[in-house]
Amino acid sequence: MICNCSYAVGALILYNSGMPELPEVETVRTGLSEILPGKRVKKVDHNWEKSFPNALTDVAKFLVDAKVTGVRRRAKVLLIDLSTNYSLVIHLKMTGQLVYRGKDQEFGAGHPSASLIGVLPDKSTRVDLTFTDGSHLFFNDQRKFGWMRLIPTPEVQQLDFFQKVGPEPLSADFTPEDFAKRLQRRAKSGIKAVLLDQTVIAGVGNIYADESLWSAKIHPLAKVQDVPTRQLSDLYKGLRDILTLSIEKGGSSARNYVDAEGKRGSYLDFANVFNRTGQPCNRCGTLIIKTRVAGRGTHICPHCQKAPLE
C-alpha cells in the first residue's frame, strides 16, 4: 500500500455542509481534540460581528497568546478550552464549518478536500484563528446563523442554554426510564417536536428525529401520551443505536465531509427515511413520503408509521 503523503500532511477538514447534529459535532470535536491542544493563538481576524459578538472586548486579553488545553462538546455546542481559563463556545447551527489547515495551505492534486474547499479564507469565512506555528482554524458559515463567543470557562455552565439543555442521549447513565419520563412531561405534544426540543434531550435534530421515529414505527405527529411505553423503549434504543452508528460513520454529509484521511461522513448511506423521498421503505417496500411536521421537512414510511387518529 503506497501512501501519497504529499497531500496527507497539513490539511484537515472538519466540515459539514448539511446540518450538524450531535454526531457531526462529535466528529468535529474528535478531530479538533487530536490537533489543537498545545497550539497557541497568535492572531484573530473576523469579518461578521454576529459570528463573534464579544470579539472586540475580549480577544486581545483572553484569546491572543492563549494555549488550547482541550476540546469538549455538550449537545450541539463545541467548547475549545484555553489556558487563560476562557473557552471558545461555538455553535455551528446549519452551515457552520471548522476547517483546520496547517501552515502550508497547498493540497496535492487529487486530495478530496481540494475540490471541496479551496484556498481559505474564502467568502464564507467569518473567523480566522492563526496559531503561532502558522496553522489556522477557520470558522466558515455561509448562512451566518452560527456563532462563537469567548466565555470564562467556569461561567460556561451558567449560560442559559446549558442551564436548560437536556441530558446527553448517549451518556452511560441515561436510561430508558429517564428518556420516557422526560418525553412524557410533554404528553400532549407531537413526539417529533419533543425530540427536537433541546431542553428535553440534547443533540437531536431533524435527521436523527426522523430516523429514530422510523426505527420505532412511530408517526412524528403522534402525541407522546398515545405512544405505548414499549414503543418509547424502542425509540430510546433506536435513537442511541442511530447516533452511535452515525458517529462511527463520521456523521451525515448532505454533500461532502472529509477528515484527515479523506474520509467522508457516510451515515446517510445507511439512512432509512431521511432524503429518501419516493424510495422504498427498507422494511416494507412502501414508498417513503415527505411531509411537514413542526415546521420541518419530515420523512416517513406511511405504512410503518401510522398516522394518529384524530
Partner DNA sequence: CACTTGACCTGTCCGC
Partner DNA sequence: TGCGGACAGGTCAAGT
* Sites of contact with DNA (CB under 7 A): 18-21, 50, 75-77, 91, 93-94, 123-124, 142-145, 160-161, 186, 188-190, 193, 196, 198, 205-207, 223, 290, 292, 294-297
Nearer to DNA, 146 or 238 (CB): 146
- Count of residues in the chain: 310
Residue 167 among the catalytic residues = no
Q: Are 232 and 245 in contact (CB under 8 A)?
A: no
Query: What is the smallest separation between the CB atom of 3 and DNA, expressed in angstroms?
Result: 32
Query: What is the smallest separation between the CB atom of 190 and DNA, expressed in angstroms?
Result: 6
Nearer to DNA, 76 or 182 (CB): 76
Cα 92 to Cα 147: distance, rounded to the nearest angstrom: 7
Instruction: Tell me the H-state helices in the chain.
Output: 22-35, 55-58, 112-116, 153-156, 160-164, 176-184, 191-196, 206-215, 229-248
Query: What is the smallest separation between the CB atom of 224 and DNA, expressed in angstroms?
Result: 8
Residue 280 among the catalytic residues = no
Query: What is the smallest separation between the CB atom of 198 and DNA, expressed in angstroms?
Result: 5
DSSP per-residue codes, 189-227: SBHHHHHH-TTTSSS--HHHHHHHHHHTT--TTSBGGGS
Nearer to DNA, 7 or 161 (CB): 161
Cα 267 to Cα 276: distance, rounded to the nearest angstrom: 13
Residue 93, amino acid: K
Nearer to DNA, 6 or 115 (CB): 115
Residue 296 among the catalytic residues = yes
Residue 21 among the catalytic residues = yes
**Which is the catalytic residue, given 72, 296, 302, 308?**
296
Cα 47 to Cα 50: distance, rounded to the nearest angstrom: 9
Cα 30 to Cα 33: distance, rounded to the nearest angstrom: 5
Nearer to DNA, 215 or 298 (CB): 298
Cα 18 to Cα 254: distance, rounded to the nearest angstrom: 5
Residue 58, amino acid: D
Q: Are 298 and 210 in contact (CB under 8 A)?
A: yes
Query: What is the smallest separation between the CB atom of 10 and DNA, expressed in angstroms?
Result: 26
**Which is the catalytic residue, given 29, 73, 76, 101?**
76
Nearer to DNA, 95 or 135 (CB): 95
Cα 131 to Cα 73: distance, rounded to the nearest angstrom: 22
Query: What is the smallest separation between the CB atom of 99 and DNA, expressed in angstroms?
Result: 16
Tell me the catalytic residues.
20-21, 76, 296
